[in-house]
Amino acid sequence: MTHAHRRARRTAAAALALALTGAATATAVAGPASAAPPITRPAPGQGVMSYVVNTDATPAAVARVRVAVARAGGSTVVDYPEIGVVVARSADADFRDDVLAGHFSSLVDSVGPTRTVPVLEGVPGRWRGPGRGPQRPEMRELLTGGASAPGGAAALGVVDATAVDEPVEAVQWDMAAIGADRANAIEPGSPDVVVGVLDDGIDDSHPDLAGQVDRSLSGDCTGGGRFDGSEGAYLPFPGGYHGTHVAGTIGAKRDGQGVVGVAPGVTLAAVKVVSAEGFIYPESAICGFMHAAEEGFDVTNNSYYVDPWEFWCDDEVSQAAAREAVTRAVAYAESQGVVSAAAAGNSAYDLADKTTSSSSPNDGSGAIADRDVRGCVDMPTELPGVVTVSATQQDGARSTFSNYGEGVIDVAAPGTRVISTIPQSILPSGYAALSGTSMASPHVAGVLALLKTTHPDATPAELRALLEEQATDVPCPATPYAGQPCTGSPEDNGYFGEGLVDALAAVTVG
């Protein structure tokens, strides 16, 4: 299926550059950094590093910054005049300093790296790093063996996985829990509503996903942040399954077999932001959100956090520029009518009371122990306008792995042992039960798609308000998990936010 009209729908709006510089982020004050990482520089012969340069959101400013990049010994990979962001590469260790000292330095808001190791994408035979994405060998073993994954943030937010032989709609406890089984019998969602799955691709050869993905809207953002819409670019790298599972939860079709998604009538678009090495770098996420804005997507699902930092701090030069660039991209997408849902994360961490983190950077340079992350954010889930989703289990309790936090969690959705689609090249049955906030977020994306169907003129802010108003209140448990306090009211608390999302209400409540 194609939606050629959607690009034209956004053309007039896209012509107006959004003045995001300095206004897109509600910045919290970070505490003193006890082990602030220095700016990453390539050592002689180390290789090419990736950077973002932020400037005014005008074509003229971006053009001048491109010149500044070239004069500093770099090359521009892609630029976005709409948000004043330039993605660049350089092997020069002094690149950042030279850009800031150059002729157009007054136009540069910030410049910094997007990772801590040289670029690997597209370089055959290079070290793949430890990774945490769906291509890790142990994740394939996990699926075929039915074991549990170690740790809390493995493999794009999957914490356990079990192969399923013959799933039927009746065993989808998650759909019954949010009323989706009844909702999509009334209103399956409009094919005019497009949900972008920003993930590791979608295998749309799966019987439950055949015909559900608009290939003309799909593509790959992992080539340095430049969108590739060529044939098949949206397909998963070998071993990838995460986006296919997410896609099934959102929009697997109702055909009397297999599984059914929350909104089986909507259109899916696969936007690959996960590299073959299993990382989601800032430039790929930026590309994903900007593509969603350009093509007029209605909803995006984001079941990941942006690598290599679990929490991005705006007082550290190794992170500030990339944090700002991703923030601008998310804000621009919202300004173009895109509402986004994102996984809260799987570390059982209180996002409302951050202290330290020892899990990043995770791209091979070595994690920093006890890094002070007060005032820092998990991207994209903690960015303004993004719906932050915690996970629940079948008995209604918060999933033990799910992050939480009063004033941070917006809503909750099923995330433990969720049965959905898996490429048959990995599992012949084509189905697996996975756990993670990665599995919770697509339920919310599906409900947002149903709300967009029933309220086609609603803005992203209005859709978020409807989602929260219609959610079923879930009070804090009488006995919260040890060391994980649940604070707030029955109507809005740190475990469940405004409550469990309600797909049935989305199609029956005016």
pLDDT digits (tens, 9 = 90+) for 410-431: 999 999 999 999 999 999 999 9
Confidence check: pLDDT of 23 > 50: no
163 contacts 432 by C-beta, under 8 angstroms: yes
* Kind of pairing between the strands at 49-54 and 110-113: antiparallel
Catalytic residue among 242, 245, 291, 443: 242
What is the residue range of 175's domain?
A: 137-508
* Kind of pairing between the strands at 267-272 and 219-223: parallel
What pLDDT shows up at residue 483? 96
DSSP-derived letter for residue 207 is T
Q: How many CB atoms lie within 10 A of CB 248?
A: 31
DSSP-derived letter for residue 497 is B
Per-residue pLDDT reduced to its tens digit, 160-198: 777 776 566 678 999 999 999 999 999 999 999 999 999
What pLDDT shows up at residue 43? 53
DSSP three-state, residue 148: strand
Q: Is 218 a known active-site residue?
A: no
Distance of CA 233 to the CA centre of its chain: 19
300 contacts 340 by C-beta, under 8 angstroms: yes
Residue 80 lies in a domain: no
Catalytic residue among 199, 203, 307, 372: 199
Distance, in Å, from the CA atom of 282 to the CA atom of 305, rounded to the nearest integer, reads 10
DSSP-derived letter for residue 432 is E
473 contacts 212 by C-beta, under 8 angstroms: no
Catalytic residue among 420, 438, 492, 502: 438
What pLDDT shows up at residue 122? 53
- Angle in degrees, 0-180, between the axes of helices 5-14 and 282-294, rounded to the nearest 10: 100
Distance, in Å, from the CA atom of 439 to the CA atom of 235, rounded to the nearest integer, reads 20
Angle CA 210–341–446, to nearest 5: 40
Residue 372 lies in a domain: yes
Residue 405 lies in a domain: yes
CATH code (residue 238): 3.40.50.200
What pLDDT shows up at residue 169? 65
Contacts of 368 (CB under 8 A, 6+ apart): 35, 37, 358, 360, 361
Residue 206 lies in a domain: yes
Residue 40 lies in a domain: no
Q: Is 242 a known active-site residue?
A: yes
Find the range with the poorest average confidence among 34-38, 252-256, 336-340: 34-38
Residue 129 lies in a domain: no
Confidence check: pLDDT of 262 > 80: yes
Distances in whole angstroms, Cα of residue 86 to Cα of each of 61, 320, 333: 10, 15, 17
- Domain count of the chain? 1
Q: Is 291 a known active-site residue?
A: no
Confidence check: pLDDT of 452 > 60: yes
pLDDT bucket at 129, cuts 50 / 70 / 90: very low
Residue with tokens 């090419």: 48
C-alpha torsion sign, points 443, 449, 455, 459: positive
What pLDDT shows up at residue 30? 28
Residue 43 lies in a domain: no
The mean pLDDT value for 367-385 works out to 98
Q: How many residues does the chain have?
A: 510
CA dihedral 297, 189, 464, 274 (to 10 degrees): -50
No. of H helices and E strands in the chain? 12, 17
- Average model confidence (pLDDT) for the chain? 87
Residue 144 lies in a domain: yes
Confidence check: pLDDT of 37 > 90: no
Confidence check: pLDDT of 33 > 50: no
247 contacts 235 by C-beta, under 8 angstroms: no
Angle CA 299–275–291, to nearest 5: 35
Burial class (CB in 10 A: 0-12, 13-18, 19+), 484: middle
Phi, psi of 184 (to 5 degrees): -80, -10
Confidence check: pLDDT of 136 > 90: no
- Angle in degrees, 0-180, between the axes of helices 437-454 and 242-251, rounded to the nearest 10: 40
Distance, in Å, from the CA atom of 298 to the CA atom of 445, rounded to the nearest integer, reads 10
Contacts of 196 (CB under 8 A, 6+ apart): 217, 268, 269, 271, 288, 291, 292, 297, 299, 300, 301, 338
Distance, in Å, from the CA atom of 392 to the CA atom of 106, rounded to the nearest integer, reads 49
What pLDDT shows up at residue 322? 99
What pLDDT shows up at residue 141? 46
C-alpha torsion sign, points 419, 301, 488, 350: positive
